[in-house]
Structure 1
Amino acid sequence: MKKQLILCYCLLIALPLYAQKSETKTLPFDSAAFALSRKQLNSLDAKPFEKLTYNTAGVVLPYRLLAPKEIKSSAKYPLIIALHNSSRLGNDNENQLEPLTRTWLAAAMRTKFPAFVLAPQFETRPTQYAFNDAYQVTTATPQKNLQALLQLIIEMSKNPQIDTKRIYLIGYSMGGSTVQHLWSQQPTLFAAAIAVAGVPDFSNLASIKNKPIWLIHGKQDDENPFSGSQKLFELLKGNTKARFTIYENLNHNNINYPLLATDELAKWLFKWKLTKH
């Protein structure tokens, strides 16, 4: 009997190690500190992000590309796709460099996490939202212009200095929704994804059931409802690589407050690698 009790106790301790990770935080919001973080990031010289365009099937996709500060000829580097929110729609090839994307420009980040960073700009929305009666939450549907970006990523992956086992997705708001579309459409292409305040895509859940995905959402979000990320996390039950961070007191407009002055997102992405390719 004693041995059985010890075994049960050990199993109870071990269970969290193999479960999804959900964490709820309450972070005192400092609007002045948030404004300063954004100002500092927006003041960084964006010239290292080379201005380029990609043309395919009559679609012109502007994008910026940040290369590692020092490229070693024998090395391979991750490719990070950084996706913008809807306020950055356009074709000036500048506005897509929102603060979350600009974190990759910081000197410390470029030294610690050398990578190619691709920041495309959509002229029209790559995703549309509608309430889903079956799931009782708002869900996202991909649009045709997303195909140009997928083709660009595939083309870039042929670069011998890009590590095809380490292609990562990260995006905020509309960008967080686009993250989920890309992964649903090409599940074997990406190693890990972070979706901040996104709207979920449930169209191909089976493809990401065992994939590393980190959902970050403010519980006070009334633009892209928190319930969408919550539902997605529930549907990924059993995915031990899924992580859900909930900020109790943050909303859609300030959810990036804790994300701009940390390297935790990069650390999390960089620990994942495709095991089969």
Structure 2
Amino acid sequence: MKFIKNKFLIVFFWVMANLVALTVMRNQERQEIHAKGLDPDLISKFESITYSRSTPNDKSQIPFHAKFLKPVNVKDHQKYPLIVFLHGAGERGDDNLVHLKTLPQQMATSSWQERFPCYLLAPQCPENMQWSSSLRLNDALEHNLLDQIYHMILDVSTKHAIDPKRIYITGYSMGGYGTWSMIARYPELFAAASPICGGGDPNNVSEYTSLPLWVVHGDADHSVPVTESRKMIDALRKVGSTPEYYELKGVGHDSWSESYKNSSGMIDWLFKQHQ
């Protein structure tokens, strides 16, 4: 009987020790998330995805991480928009967290989800890489992360109640360049796009002249000159396109905060677009 009692106590203390350790780890994780300017309760709504894809011409794989947000209540027989979000250069890495600070975290709040129920896909660019290694359309796509993102979009679209006619893409800074490159390479995939403080190749605008665009840039941006967006807008208008273009007077590089947080602005416009 004494042996059984001792065995029970050993198991009990082992379970309690594990529960304490788990609680400590969770608290540490929450502190780390807070330190990155994130809300742990909002971040917990995202699923983690690790994606890699080899091609017939290149068997090497470039794994990268993403976060995926679902609508709060997915109703039967109803499809929802998908927002693809491309972050800036400062959020590169492999923690699969820091790139959620802006639009992704915002769209996870109850108020935004209630008004704009949607899926959101936020891949994280690996350190020392960039969304668009070149602005030329004839790059070998299998060597580019944008190709990986394209196939990730197709993958989540087949597994979830995503409306294929309402797939949107937006990004800022490096993600703005990535947004311009994505719509040039895969114009048929998107219903609308919003590149913010980025740039692209004006020679490729004929690929997406009919795509609804909401473009934003601060005229005091010293990191990515406003001329990067201006030349894209000029090229689009020359071929008959009518993009929405907003130059924010006196605003520096951070032209995305105002753009994303204005609930009657870009996001509202975005959700009205469909193929």
Aligned to 1:244: 245
How many residue pairs align between the two structures?
A: 226
Q: CA deviation at 1:98?
A: 2.5
In the TM superposition, what whole-angstrom CA distance separates every residue of 1:245-264 from its partner, at most 9, and x where no partner exists?
00110011x32342343222
Residue of structure 2 aligned with 1:53, choices 50, 53, 57: 50
The letter of the residue matching 2:270 is: L
**Which secondary structure state, in structure 2, belongs to the residue aligned with residue 126 of structure 1?**
coil
RMSD: 2.4
Q: How does 1:195-234 map to 2 (within 5 A)?
A: 195-234=195-234
* Unmatched tracts of structure 2, length 5 or more: 1-34, 55-60
Secondary structure in 2 aligned to 1:204? helix
CA contact (8 A) 1:80 1:118 kept: yes
Distance in 2 between the 1:53 and 1:208 partners?
A: 30
When normalised by structure 2's length, the TM-score is 0.76
Secondary structure of the 1:215 match is strand
Look up the match of 2:117: 114
1:180 corresponds to = 180
Q: Aligned equivalents of 2:232 and 2:177: distance in 1?
A: 12
Alignment of 1:1-277 (within 5 A): 42-43=38-39, 45-57=42-54, 58-123=61-126, 124-128=129-133, 144-159=144-159, 161-237=161-237, 238-240=240-242, 242-252=243-253, 254-263=254-263, 264-274=265-275
- For residues 187 and 213 of structure 1, what CA distance do their matches in structure 2 show? 12
Q: Out of 183-192 and 203-212, give the one that drifted further.
A: 203-212
Give the % identical residues. 29
- Contact in 2 for aligned 1:184/1:203 (Cα 8 Å): no
Aligned residue identity for 1:76: K
1:211-234 deviation per Cα after TM superposition (whole angstroms, max 9, x unaligned): 101110000111111001111111
Q: TM-score, normalised by structure 1?
A: 0.76
Label 1:260 to 1:152 Cα distance change in 2 as closer, same or farther (>3 A): closer
**C-alpha separation in 2, matches of 1:244 and 1:91:** 33
Residue identity matched to 1:205: V
**Kept in 2: contact 1:200–1:232 (CA 8 A):** yes
Change over 3 Å in CA distance of 1:86–1:223 after alignment to 2: same
Determine if contact 1:42/1:99 at 8 Å carries over to the other structure: no
Give the secondary-structure state (helix, strand or coil) at the position aligned to 1:68. coil
Deviations 1:84-128 (A, max 9, x none): 000011111112112233221121110111111000011021224
Question: 1:174: Cα distance to partner?
Answer: 0.6
Give the 3-state SS of the residue equivalent to 1:110 in structure 2: helix
Amino acid at match of 2:231: K
Task: Decide which structure has greater strand share.
Answer: 1
